């Protein structure tokens, strides 16, 4: 188990960085251009250095430019220490810095531009089994527990559905397995309002996949898991049949049309002579 999941137990790499921000004086194009020119001038001193010239000290350069330095970290590639933006590109930029190239180019931010400087690099590493035996054992036991729970749910589902098909009552089946069943009030799965019973968000989609007098829809809960038994499915009320159902049908039709268009566009993009950049293909997939 440890060997198969060694990467999950590894210590993630961590970075500590210094950050300065060059803010635009306003939202005008002139203000943005001025901020960009200032950011370019500040970062230029760290790149394309003449032979024999050492890279300036980042903190000293920031002080000379009257820029405040913030220190962020240590953080991992999955963290987001940047309060001004939830932008994964900033984290990727931080982890692209090296000891030989410790300063980033100027990066767009909400108020202007950010420049990053690598302060400390803590490489990731794989931990040995001796270091984390209790953690590995606990993870393995939890996985085994979940697998057993899923198998028990499948066994019950198969046997319960077979018993229901042969005419046995749901209450008798539940009792025979030593389980408890909770009856919930009648509800409409398509109703968007909150439902007044526990695990409603799990039960709502489960019943849409079941036929009447059928068990299924297993999902895990903090205390174990639940299965759903659909007693019966009532026909839609007349107002819903005349107003809501046509809207749902139209929405599904539009979704299907959009899917067909997406499939055609992305398929055409891979034909000889129609090669498109992956960025364009990604936009086609998500635009419709």
Span 148-179, pLDDT tens digits: 999 999 999 999 999 999 999 999 999 999 99
Which residues are bridge partners to 24 per DSSP?
none
- In tens, the pLDDT along 106-143 reads 999 888 999 999 999 999 999 999 999 999 999 999 99
DSSP designation for 114: E
User: Per the structure block, which two tokens stand in for 113?
Assistant: 């531009």
Which tops the pLDDT comparison, 284 or 75? 75
> Which value, in Å, is the radius of gyration of the alpha carbons in the chain?
29
Angle ∠(268,274,275) on CA atoms, nearest 5: 105
Query: How do residues 187-235 score in pLDDT, each as one tens digit?
Result: 888 777 788 888 888 898 888 889 999 999 899 988 889 999 999 988 7
Report pLDDT digits (tens) over 231-262.
998 877 777 667 777 777 787 788 888 888 77
The residue behind tokens 């659909």 is 230
User: pTM to 2 decimals?
Assistant: 0.57
Output helix, strand, coil percentages for the chain, rounded to the nearest 5: 45, 15, 40
SS3 118: strand
Distance CA 141, CA 28 (A): 59
DSSP secondary structure string, 217-265? EEEEETTEEEEEEE---PPPPHHIIIIIHHHHHHHHHHHHHHHHHHHHH
């Amino acid at each position: 188990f440890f060997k198969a999941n060694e990467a999950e137990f590894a210590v993630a790499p961590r970075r500590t960085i210094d950050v300065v921000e060059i803010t635009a004086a306003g939202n005008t194009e002139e203000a943005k251009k001025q901020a960009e020119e200032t950011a370019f001038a500040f970062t230029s001193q760290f790149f394309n250095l003449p032979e024999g010239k050492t890279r300036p000290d980042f903190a000293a350069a920031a002080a000379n430019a009257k820029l405040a330095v913030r220190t962020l970290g240590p953080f991992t590639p999955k963290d987001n220490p940047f309060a001004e933006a939830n932008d994964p590109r900033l984290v990727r930029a931080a982890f692209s810095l090296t000891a030989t190239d410790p300063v980033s180019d100027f990066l767009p931010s909400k108020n202007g531009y950010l420049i990053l400087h690598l302060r400390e690099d803590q490489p990731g590493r794989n931990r040995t089994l001796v270091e984390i035996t209790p953690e590995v054992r606990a993870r393995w036991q939890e996985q085994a527990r979940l697998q057993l729970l899923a198998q028990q749910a499948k066994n019950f589902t198969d046997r319960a559905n077979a018993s229901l098909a042969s005419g046995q009552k749901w209450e008798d089946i539940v009792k025979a397995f030593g389980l408890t069943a909770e009856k919930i009030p009648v509800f409409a799965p398509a109703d968007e309002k909150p439902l007044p019973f526990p695990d409603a968000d799990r039960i709502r989609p489960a019943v849409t996949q079941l036929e009447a007098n059928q068990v299924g829809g297993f999902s895990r809960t903090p205390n174990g898991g639940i299965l759903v038994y659909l007693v019966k499915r009532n026909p839609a009320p007349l107002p819903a049949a005349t107003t809501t159902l046509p809207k749902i049908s139209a929405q599904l039709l539009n979704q299907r049309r959009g899917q067909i268009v997406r499939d055609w566009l992305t398929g055409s993009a891979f034909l000889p002579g129609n090669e498109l950049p992956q960025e364009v293909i990604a936009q086609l997939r998500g635009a419709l």
